[in-house]
Amino acid sequence: MTTPPASPIDPSAAARGVPALDIRGLRKRFGPAEIIRGVDLAIPSGERHALIGPNGAGKSTLFNLISGLIAPSAGEVWLHGAVISALPAYQINRRGLSRSFQVTNIFRRMSVWENVRCAVLWAKGERYAFWREIDGNDDVTARTHQVLTDINLLARKDIPAGVLTYAEQRALEIGITMAGGCNVILLDEPTAGMSRAETERAVELIRRISERRTLLIVEHDMSVVFGLADRISVLVYGEIIATGTPADIRGNAKVKEAYLGEEAH
Amino acid sequence: MNDRVTTSAPAAAPAAATTRAGAGALDRIAPYAGWIAFALALVLLPLVFRSGTALTMMSLMGINIIFSLSYNMLLGQTGMLSFGHAVYFGLGAYFTVHAINAAIASGLPIPLFLMPLVGALGGLGFAMLFGWVSTKRSGTAFAMISLGLAELVGSSSLILRSFFGGEEGVSTNRTKLLHVLGWNFGPQIQVYYLIAIWCFICVVLMYALTRTPFGRMCNAVRDNPERVQFIGYNPQVVRYVPFSLSGLFAGIAGALSAVNFEFANAAIFSAVQSGNVLLATFIGGAGHFIGPILGAVLLTYLQNMLSDITDVWQLYFGLMFIAVVMYAPGGLAGLIMMHRTIWRAGVLWRLGPAYALMVVPVALVGGGMVLIIEMSPHLSVKEAEGSVMSMAGIHFDARSWQPWAPALVTLFVGAAWWRRGWRRVGGAWDSAQRIAREKGLLV
User: What number of other Cβ atoms are within 10 A of residue A221's Cβ?
Assistant: 19
Domain ranges of chain B: 31-328, 345-438
In angstroms, the separation between the Cα of residue B360 and the nearest Cα of chain A is: 37
Chain A neighbors of B237, CB-CB under 8 A: 128
How many residue pairs from chains A and B have C-beta atoms closer than 8 A? 129
Determine the residue of chain A that is closest to B231 in CA distance. Answer: A119
Determine the residue of chain B that is closest to A148 in CA distance. Answer: B8
**B26 vs A175, which has greater pLDDT?**
A175
> Does the interface predicted TM-score (ipTM) exceed 0.85?
yes
- Which pLDDT tens digit goes with each residue over A35-75? 999 999 999 999 999 999 988 899 999 999 999 999 999 99
Any chain A CB within 8 A of the CB of B231? yes
What is the pTM assigned to this prediction?
Answer: 0.90
| pLDDT > 90: percent of chain A | 80
Q: How confident is the model at residue A5 (pLDDT cuts 50, 70, 90)?
A: very low
Determine the residue of chain A that is closest to B1 in CA distance. Answer: A110
Q: Which domains does chain A have, with CATH numbers?
A: 11-263 (3.40.50.300)
Q: Is A214 helix (H, G, I), strand (E, B) or coil?
A: strand
Distance of alpha carbon B355 from alpha carbon B335, whole angstroms: 14
Distance of alpha carbon A126 from alpha carbon A141, whole angstroms: 12
Beta strand extents in B303-430 (DSSP E only): 388-391, 394-397
Q: Are A53 and A236 in contact, with CB atoms under 8 Å apart?
A: yes
Could you give the residue ranges of the DSSP H alpha helices within B73-174? 86-106, 116-134, 139-159, 161-164
pLDDT at B379: 77
Chain B neighbors of A117, CB-CB under 8 A: 6, 216
- Average pLDDT, whole number, for chain A? 90
pLDDT at B105: 94
Distance of alpha carbon B93 from alpha carbon B250, whole angstroms: 9
Q: Which of A127, A133, A141 lies closest to B8 in CB terms? A: A141
Chain A neighbors of B241, CB-CB under 8 A: 128, 130
Any chain A CB within 8 A of the CB of B245? yes
Chain A neighbors of B4, CB-CB under 8 A: 111, 158-160
CATH pick for B31-328 out of 1.10.287, 1.10.260, 1.10.3470, 1.10.10: 1.10.3470
Backbone φ and ψ of A179, nearest 5°: -60, -40
Is A128's CB within 8 Å of B211's CB? Answer: no
Determine the residue of chain A that is closest to B232 in CA distance. Answer: A90
pLDDT at B20: 52
Q: Are B170 and B265 in contact, with CB atoms under 8 Å apart?
A: yes
- Which pLDDT tens digit goes with each residue over B209-222? 999 999 999 999 99
Q: How confident is the model at residue A106 (pLDDT cuts 50, 70, 90)?
A: very high
Q: How confident is the model at residue B382 (pLDDT cuts 50, 70, 90)?
A: low
- Which pLDDT tens digit goes with each residue over B166-209? 888 999 999 888 888 888 898 999 999 999 999 999 999 999 99
Q: Which of B4, B211, B229 lies closest to A134 in CB terms? A: B211
Beta strand extents in B100-151 (DSSP E only): none
